[in-house]
Amino acid sequence: MDRVILHSDCNCFYAAVEMLYHPEYEGRPLAVGGNPETRHGIVLTANYPAKRRGVKTGSALWEARQACPGLVIVPPDYDRYLRFSGYAREIYSHYSDRVEPFGLDECWIDVTHSVGIRGNGQQIAEEIRKKIKDELGITVSVGISWNKIFAKYGSDYRKPDAVTMVTRENYRQIVWQKPAEDLLCVGRATKRKLAGFGIFTIGDIARSDPELLRRILGKMGEVLYIFANGDDQTPVAAENTHAPIKSVGNGMTMPRDLTTDEEVKMAVYMLSETVARRLRANHFSGDVIEIYVRDQDLSGFTRQRKIEVPTNISEEIAQSAMELFYGSYRWEKNIRGIGIRVADLKADTCPYQLNLFRSEEERKKQLQVDRAVEEIRRRFGDNAVKRGLMYFGPEISAQKFAEQGIHPRSYMDRGTGGIYGKAV
């Protein structure tokens, strides 16, 4: 018996959530993007009126405004999006205990064992679509298939607010006719390589010699062959065993170039505070700290380190980031942009190994300080409590570090064993 797998994709997720909080923009083109008052910003997502007028995800804000005069641009609120993502997953959990997030706005749901109790796959998908719309005020597109890849393809096939079933009888007509880049894991570079061998559609991939694909793309060539033929056996992960996101980060292009260690430290602590706050708000901690630095010529570096204990404490995040900075930068040029990221996320209740040489009492105090400062700022404003080092660059510390980031997991994060149906 074939599995019954759904893939639910929230339509224009960030923009849809923002429209709930901005009813005055009903019917107007709207995009969620970076802060236009800083030196750069891009479109993270746009609603359908904006997309119909040429606004594209990833385009610069000035390009979006050229394409769509009168475009409304609102800054992202990732805490809000995380909250709505959790609401959606709670609805999915009513139908299965196998709910696997793929970023904030997408989930696979294995309803194989719910069929017959809650209806067939089509009926369950329609019920989910209606419930999300009625209870959350946003829409989803749902794909149904016997494997995760075609289920995801089905959710992309018709938008918005639609259900598409990809079956063993119709997948050649629905899937194989489409361009190769519509298949999961086929990006621009892979598309160019395939085109060089006359492979332009998903059907071309499916009908190709697997050995040829392996020569072109390595192991990924074989993976794409399996994807295109609907032979992926990867299971849907059990609920709450897979974080919805891979990492939480925050970065910013500075209003002016940074010229001293003190100014960098000021920016790092500000960024670390916002990252730590969001980690705590969503009950995550992480044990990989990353910093990226871009100089005035837009070159630079990215460095990361694994720490012993998962953290959501701003002081620990900032200290690790500064150690990475001191070990990697020699001030040959001034700095234009900095970013901080915490990865390898896990629940903040996850147990960890104690260390005789680390004071757990001190860690608890630092966490209490973070929470106290957060509460004061919530009640009295961001400027109610400031670190002394912020006075090294008041014009920078006055900035709202709004260009925050959440980073979805890759389909390959869990390995390729399930793709083949055995360990690889």
Domains of the chain: 1-170 (3.30.70.270), 176-232 (1.10.150.20), 247-407 (3.30.1490.100)
Q: What is the pLDDT of residues 345-377, one digit of tens each?
A: 888 888 877 777 778 889 899 999 999 998 998
Confidence (pLDDT) at 392:
67
Confidence of residue 403 (pLDDT cuts 50, 70, 90): very low
Confidence (pLDDT) at 240:
64
Taking the CA atoms of 23, 25, 31 and 33 in sequence, report the sign of the dihedral they define: negative
Contacts of 40 (CB under 8 A, 6+ apart): 34, 60, 253
* 247-258/300-311 β-pairing: unpaired
- CA–CA separation, 149 vs 178, rounded Å? 14
Residues in a beta bridge with 142: 8, 163
Confidence of residue 319 (pLDDT cuts 50, 70, 90): very high
Cis amide leading into 394 (omega within 30): no
The secondary structure of residue 40, as a DSSP letter, is: -
The answer to whether residues 300 and 293 touch, using CB atoms and an 8 Å cutoff, is: yes
Average pLDDT over every residue of 36-45: 69
93 pLDDT higher than 50 = yes
Average pLDDT over every residue of 285-292: 94
Active site residues: 106
CA 213 to chain centre: 29
| Mean residue pLDDT across the chain | 88
Q: What is the pLDDT of residues 344-353, one digit of tens each?
A: 888 888 887 7
pTM given for the model: 0.72
Contacts of 97 (CB under 8 A, 6+ apart): 238, 239
153 pLDDT higher than 60 = yes
Residues in a beta bridge with 30: 72
Q: Which residue has the tokens 């794909």?
A: 143
